[in-house]
Structure 1
Amino acid sequence: MICITVAPTSRTLAKVDILNAMRYADIVEVALDHLVKEPDVKDLLEGWEKPIIISCRRKEDGGQWDGSESDRMTLLRQAIVAGPAYIELDLDIASRIPRFGKTQRVICFTSMDRPVRDIDSIFDEAAQAQADVVKFCWPTPTLDDAWPLLSAVSQKRRLPIVGIGLGPADRTFSLLGRKYGSPWIYAALEKGMEAFSGQATVFDLDEIYHWREIDRNSTFIAVAGFGETPTMTTRIFNHAFKLLGANVRCLPLQIGDLSMLKKMLEILKVRAILASGPSGGQLLPLADHIDEQDRKSQYVDLLLKKDESWSGYNTLWRSGLMALEGTLSGGAATGPRPLDKHNILVLGNGPVGASIAYAVTQRKGIVSICGPNDKVSQKIAQELQCRFVPYQNLYDTLSDVIVIADKGLVCGTKAGAVNPSVFRPNQTVLDVSDPPLEHPLFTEARERGCRVVEPSKVYTDQLQMQFKALAGRDLPMEAFAKALSE
Structure 2
Amino acid sequence: MICISVTPESRRLAKADLLNASRQGDLIELCLDHLVKSPDIADLLDAVDKPILITCRRSQDGGKWTGDEEDRLQLLRQAIVAEPEWIELDLDIAGKVPRYGKTRRVVAYTSLYSPLGATRTEIDEVFEKAQAADADVVKFTWPTPTLEAAWPLLSTVSQKRDLPVVGMGLGPCGLTFSLLGRKYGSPWIYAALEHGMEAYEGQPTVGDLDDIHRWRSISGSTRFIAVDGFDDGTLAMIGVFNQAAESAGLDARWLPLAWQDTSRLKQMFEKLKIQGVVGRPGGDAQLGELADRREEALGEDGPVDLLMHKDGGWQGFGCLWRAALLALEEAIGGGDRPLDRRNVMVIGTGPLARTMIFGASRRHGLVSVSGGDEQAAQQLASDTGARYVPAQNLYDTLVDVVVLADPALELGPGRGQLNPSFLRPPMLVTDVAAGREDSEALAESRSRGCPVVEPETVWWGLAESLFRSITGQQLPSDIRQPR
TM-score (norm 2): 0.91
Cα distance, 1:34 vs structure 2: 1.9
Q: Distance in 2 between matches of 1:379 and 1:292?
A: 25
Cα distance, 1:374 vs structure 2: 4.8
Given that 2:402 and 2:428 are in contact with CA atoms closer than 8 Å, whether structure 1 keeps it comes out as yes
SS at match of 1:63: coil
Percent of matched pairs sharing the same residue: 47
Match of 2:22 in 1: 22
Letter in 1 for 2:250: A
Cα distance, 1:478 vs structure 2: 0.7
Cα distance, 1:94 vs structure 2: 2.0
SS at match of 2:102: coil
Q: How does 1:229-308 map to 2 (within 5 A)?
A: 229-277=233-281, 280-291=284-295, 293-295=297-299, 298-308=302-312
Q: How does 1:427-446 map to 2 (within 5 A)?
A: 427-446=427-446
Cα distance, 1:287 vs structure 2: 1.1
Q: Distance in 1 between matches of 2:414 and 2:93?
A: 56
Match of 1:171 in 2: 175
Match of 2:42 in 1: 42
Q: How does 1:104-119 map to 2 (within 5 A)?
A: 104-117=104-117, 118-119=122-123
Letter in 2 for 1:470: I
SS at match of 2:480: helix
Q: Distance in 1 between matches of 2:32 and 2:410?
A: 45
Cα distance, 1:289 vs structure 2: 1.2
Match of 2:367 in 1: 366
Match of 2:230 in 1: 226
Distance 1:243 1:293, change over 3 A: closer
Letter in 1 for 2:292: D
Q: Distance in 2 between matches of 1:72 and 1:420?
A: 66
SS at match of 1:88: strand
Q: Distance in 1 between matches of 2:31 and 2:420?
A: 51
Match of 1:467 in 2: 467
Q: Deviations along 1:437-475, whole A, 9 cap, x unmatched?
A: 333332333333321112222222333232222222211
Q: Distance in 2 between matches of 1:66 and 1:234?
A: 41
Q: Distance in 1 between matches of 2:163 and 2:233?
A: 38
Q: Distance in 1 between matches of 2:458 and 2:337?
A: 20
Cα distance, 1:358 vs structure 2: 2.3
Given that 1:206 and 1:212 are in contact with CA atoms closer than 8 Å, whether structure 2 keeps it comes out as yes
Cα distance, 1:356 vs structure 2: 0.6
Indicate whether 1:53 and 2:45 are aligned.
no
Q: Distance in 2 between matches of 1:124 and 1:176?
A: 23
Match of 1:313 in 2: 317
Q: Which of the residues 181, 188, 191 maps onto 2:185?
A: 181
Given that 1:399 and 1:427 are in contact with CA atoms closer than 8 Å, whether structure 2 keeps it comes out as no
Q: Which of the residues 123, 126, 130 maps onto 1:126?
A: 130
Given that 2:183 and 2:222 are in contact with CA atoms closer than 8 Å, whether structure 1 keeps it comes out as yes
Distance 1:17 1:294, change over 3 A: same
Letter in 1 for 2:468: K
Q: Distance in 2 between matches of 1:146 and 1:279?
A: 25
Letter in 2 for 1:479: I
Distance 1:415 1:364, change over 3 A: closer
Q: Which range moves more in the overlay, 185-194 or 403-412?
A: 403-412
TM-score (norm 1): 0.90
Cα distance, 1:165 vs structure 2: 1.3
Given that 1:281 and 1:298 are in contact with CA atoms closer than 8 Å, whether structure 2 keeps it comes out as no
Given that 1:171 and 1:200 are in contact with CA atoms closer than 8 Å, whether structure 2 keeps it comes out as yes
Match of 1:197 in 2: 201
Q: Distance in 1 between matches of 2:139 and 2:434?
A: 38
Match of 1:456 in 2: 456
Q: Distance in 2 between matches of 1:191 and 1:408?
A: 29
Cα distance, 1:267 vs structure 2: 1.6
Q: Distance in 2 between matches of 1:37 and 1:162?
A: 30
Match of 1:147 in 2: 151
Given that 1:172 and 1:252 are in contact with CA atoms closer than 8 Å, whether structure 2 keeps it comes out as yes
Q: Deviations along 1:300-343, whole A, 9 cap, x unmatched?
A: 1221111211111112112212222332x3x222x845352515
Distance 1:84 1:412, change over 3 A: farther
Q: Distance in 1 between matches of 2:337 and 2:429?
A: 21
Q: Distance in 2 between matches of 1:62 and 1:283?
A: 36
SS at match of 2:264: helix
SS at match of 2:346: strand
Q: Which runs of 5+ in 1 are unaligned?
A: none
Q: Distance in 2 between matches of 1:343 and 1:248?
A: 38
Distance 1:338 1:31, change over 3 A: same
Cα distance, 1:283 vs structure 2: 0.9
Cα distance, 1:297 vs structure 2: 5.9
SS at match of 1:92: coil
Cα distance, 1:365 vs structure 2: 1.6
Q: Distance in 1 between matches of 2:161 and 2:268?
A: 20
Match of 2:334 in 1: 332
Given that 1:6 and 1:21 are in contact with CA atoms closer than 8 Å, whether structure 2 keeps it comes out as yes
Match of 1:65 in 2: 65
Distance 1:44 1:211, change over 3 A: same
Given that 2:436 and 2:456 are in contact with CA atoms closer than 8 Å, whether structure 1 keeps it comes out as yes
Distance 1:295 1:10, change over 3 A: farther
Q: Distance in 2 between matches of 1:404 and 1:73?
A: 62
SS at match of 1:319: helix
Q: Distance in 1 between matches of 2:79 and 2:414?
A: 59
Letter in 1 for 2:347: V
* Count of residue correspondences: 477
Cα distance, 1:375 vs structure 2: 4.9
CA RMSD of aligned residues (A): 2.5
Given that 1:277 and 1:434 are in contact with CA atoms closer than 8 Å, whether structure 2 keeps it comes out as no
Q: Which range moves more in the overlay, 311-320 or 30-39?
A: 30-39
Q: Which range moves more in the overlay, 294-303 or 29-38?
A: 294-303
Letter in 1 for 2:227: V
Given that 1:370 and 1:388 are in contact with CA atoms closer than 8 Å, whether structure 2 keeps it comes out as no
